[in-house]
Chain A
Amino acid sequence: MIGVSKSDNRAYGVLVVDDSTFVQKMLQQILASEGFDIIATATNGEEALEAYKKMQSKIDIVTLDITMPKVDGIEALKNILAFDSAAKIVMISALGKESMVKQALVLGAKSYIVKPLDRTKILERIAKVVG
């Protein structure tokens, strides 16, 4: 099980951030099936920062969409990393343009996955980040 730590047998906690209920549901299904613990979900960058601050000790990884209302994923990435520079954030977006990917990685995202959601691709990338 990719979602369970080999050292202490603890499930890795995930904060899922996406304004699409469909994407949230799919990500939760994919991650939960590999033993990850979905700690919280958020639908915009503002909620994401609030959730991260409240539950930081339980969150090992954040999946973060980019195009969202109120505060977008790039701003949320900056805000969460300003609060916790060790946060592990994986961008998952329909926007795959090179300039956007580079920007997110330069800002500190650990990985960048372009939608559609592919179970194998998501689990491989997230395993590398938590591993």
Chain B
Amino acid sequence: MRVTYINPFVRSVADILKELTGHDVKQETLTLVKGDVHMNGLCVLLGLTGSVEGQLTLNLDPKTAKGILAAMGIEDAEITDSRIDDMSKSALMELGNMVGGKVVSALEEEGFDFDITPPILLLGSATTSSLLQEERIILPVKIEGIGKIEINIIAREKKG
């Protein structure tokens, strides 16, 4: 995975979360891992297609999700291990769209042309996803007063 991709991803995620919540956002240490993704309860998954291919996932627990949703104007989010209300689901998928849209714009400035697929919301506590088996970057992001989101990034240039 080229370093060229990483900074725009990191910057985009932090910018959107700060803009949406109005809270300070701190990036923690990046790690490079391979293997399954351990979900914390909720996972917003986006695909990258075009000259850069891969996946972007936002992995968060229900408490953090409720904090973000409250900052987005949804005070009565109902989230359990097996259920989420429709408005909260829609808002979290929109969060994924906004992060993805920002990443696409930032990488276009670096000369890469690609798009994001519509987000998918996965729900489940302590579930292990087998969707991502490639080497990926994990970027933990702390939203002050709300909680932590783990961003998983797989990005590779399309060959040919």
Q: What is the interface of chain A, defined by CB distance below 8 A to chain B?
A: 20-23, 25-26, 29, 67, 69, 93-99, 114-116, 118
Contact = CB atoms under 8 A, between A and B. Distances in A.
30 contacts: A20-B90, A20-B91, A20-B93, A20-B97, A21-B86, A22-B72, A22-B90, A22-B91, A23-B90, A29-B73, A67-B97, A67-B116, A67-B118, A93-B101, A94-B97, A95-B101, A95-B105, A95-B115, A96-B102, A96-B105, A97-B101, A97-B108, A98-B109, A99-B113, A115-B94, A115-B98, A115-B101, A116-B19, A116-B98, A118-B19
B109 to A, nearest CB: 8
Interface of B: 16, 19-20, 72-74, 86-87, 90-91, 93-94, 97-98, 100-102, 104-105, 108-109, 113, 115-116, 118
A79 to B, nearest CB: 21
B112 to A, nearest CB: 10
B60 to A, nearest CB: 17
B94 A22 contact: yes
A10 B51 CA distance: 49
Contacts, number: 57
Contact of B101 (A23, A26, A114, A118): A114
B19 to A, nearest CB: 5
Contacts of A93: 101
A20 B101 CA distance: 15
- A-B interface, 5 closest residue pairs, ranked by CB to CB distance from nearest: A94-B101, A22-B90, A22-B91, A94-B97, A96-B105
A116 B108 contact: no
A62 B59 CA distance: 34
Nearest to A29: B73
Contacts of B100: 94
A22 B73 CA distance: 10
A97 B90 contact: no
